[in-house]
Amino acid sequence: MLPSQRALFDIPRDVCFLNAASWSPLPLAVQEAGRAAVGRKGQPWKLESNFQSQQYERARKAAAALIGADPADVALIPSVGYGVATAGKVMAIPRGSRVLVLQDDHTSPVLEWMSRAETGGYTVETVKQPADGDWTSAVLEAIERPGAAPLALVSISSVHWSDGGALDMPRIATAAKAKGAALLVDATHDAGVRRIDVKSLDPDFLIFPTYKWVLGPYGRAFMYVAKRRQTGVPLEQISASRKAVSAEDTVYFRDTSYVEGARRYDMGERDHFISLEMAAVGMEMMAGWGNDPIVARLSMLTDRLADGLANSGVRVIDKKLRAPHVLSLQFPQGMAQDLPKRLAAENVYAAPRLGRLRISPHVYNDEEDVDRFVETFKRVAR
Ligand SMILES: Cc1ncc(COP(=O)(O)O)c(C=O)c1O
């Protein structure tokens, strides 16, 4: 099990921050990378000509390492929504087919398909939130539903952001593939924590941002694109995705054919090296710790939370169905609206999410945080 990494962060002992699923604190090393990068932008004449490309290839490699991808299959993008919009442009959803999404999944893997459904002549089918927390069975049932329209796409998060349910993606990927459907995975609450191997999972797209679990800044996200989807038209038309469009050449539009690999989907202004270096450092830290030691630590913490909160009137998803790093408390009588505020007044931070209280520890949390949460919760939730 990974020991607590609190010393690598700037978190005072009296702060009990259990809200990484909203936004993680930046490790000191990531903050330092950001400060140094701002300084470099202050004196840009000192940069080597290959500086930017080294930066974005380092970040691409770090992102690829977290999901078992070849860096050539990873695009640099600014947000999950941007990646899904790219997928929406690249994939044709046949008329009369259906796209599966999860009930109350985050907007990013959902709204793209909803907004295209009417003109595209297909339906978006929502998998209802299962009462027993078993999202995997609910999705498999929806994939297999007899008499349903042909399945074109499954566009889902692999860990549900609000209830913390963990989906068994290998089983879902196999079932979707058997139906000839494409798979888009929003791995926002998964990449860097649970083990992901895109080579065996074989999704069409898998996307994650850096500002939550992989300890990076806003405005940076990464998109794995399967080779079979690497011939589409990118969302933006920029010089970087063309083979030879260079301001330093004597002919500007020398070769406008697209570059090979997922790079064709890279965002404009990908050279933003301040956030790129920060993103790379955070992802490299996560890779250095490794999935299994991280999962061991975070599941130890969420199990301890669940044990401590037993008999306090809240319900949680069964251990084998929930993510190791997200514990969402359900209140059969409803959650007091000001509960998160009352906790925050005691320097204890968790997030209200769709009527639940979402607790999401990360590598900087320890048993003291958990015990503090339990004690404070029992006192202020009364
Ligand atoms: C499941 C999920 N996907 C995506 C995002 C972020 O989406 P975007 O990068 O499009 O803002 C979040 C943020 O809360 C999320 O919880």
What is the DSSP code string of 99-168? EEEETT--STTTHHHHHHHHHHT-EEEEEPPPTTS-HHHHHHHHHH-TTPPPEEEEEEESB-TTT-BB--
Report whether residue 159 contacts ligand 1, using a CB cutoff of 6 Å.
no
Query: What is the chain's mean pLDDT, rounded?
Result: 97
- Give the pLDDT mean for 211-216: 98
Q: Could you identify the atom of ligand 1 that is nearest to the CA of residue 78?
A: 9
Cβ of residue 79 lying under 6 Å from some atom of ligand 1: yes
pLDDT tops 90 at residue 239: yes
> pLDDT by residue (tens digit) across 269-325?
998 999 999 999 999 999 999 999 999 999 999 999 999 999 999 999 999 999 999
Count other C-beta atoms under 10 Å from residue 111's C-beta. 17
222 pLDDT tier (thresholds 50, 70, 90): very high
Ligand 1 pocket check for 348: Cβ under 6 Å:
no
Q: Could you identify the atom of ligand 1 that is nearest to the CA of residue 157?
A: 1
Enter the CATH code of domain 6-18+290-380.
Answer: 3.90.1150.10
Please indicate whether residue 84, judged by its CB atom, sits closer than 6 Å to ligand 1.
no
Q: Which pLDDT value is given to residue 188? A: 98
pTM of the model: 0.98
Cβ of 165 below 6 Å from ligand 1: no
What value does the mean pLDDT take over residues 263-271? 95
155: left (phi over 0), alpha (psi -120 to 50) or beta: beta
- Range 52-71 average pLDDT: 97
Per-residue pLDDT band for 202 (boundaries 50, 70, 90) equals very high
Q: How far is CA 358 from the centre of its chain?
A: 16
pLDDT band at 254 (very low <50, low <70, confident <90, very high): very high
- Tell me if residue 253 falls in helix, strand or coil: strand
Q: Spell 228-255 as b/e; 16+ CB within 10 A means b.
A: ebbebebbeeeebbbeebeeeeeeeeee
Q: 98 pairs with which residues across the strands? A: 123, 151
Phi, psi of 69 (to 5 degrees): -100, 160
Percent of the chain, pLDDT > 70?
A: 100
In the chain, what are the domain boundaries? 6-18+290-380, 39-287
Taking residues 141-159, report their average pLDDT. 97
Structure tokens at 286: 């996560």
The pLDDT of residue 112: 98
pLDDT at 155 over 80: yes
DSSP 284: H
Ligand 1 midpoint to CA 110 (Å): 11
107 C-alpha to ligand 1 centroid (Å): 7
User: Is 158's C-beta closer than 6 angstroms to any atom of ligand 1?
Assistant: no
The partner residues of 159 in beta bridges, in order of sequence, read: 166
Mean pLDDT, residues 122-139 taken together:
97
Q: What is the DSSP string of 208-233?
A: EESSSTT---TT-EEEEE-GGGTTS-
Per-residue pLDDT band at 180 (split at 50, 70, 90): very high
Residue 382's pLDDT band (boundaries 50, 70, 90)?
confident
Atom number of ligand 1 nearest to Cα 82: 10
39-287 maps to CATH 3.40.640.10: yes
Mean pLDDT confidence for 1-8:
98
Rg (the chain; Cα; Å): 22
Q: Please state the rounded mean pLDDT for residues 37-46.
A: 96
* pLDDT for 371: 98
Choose the residue to mutate in 79, 80, 82, 218 for probing ligand 1, maximizing ligand atoms within 8 Å of C-beta: 80
Task: Give the pLDDT confidence score for residue 346 in this predicted structure.
Answer: 97
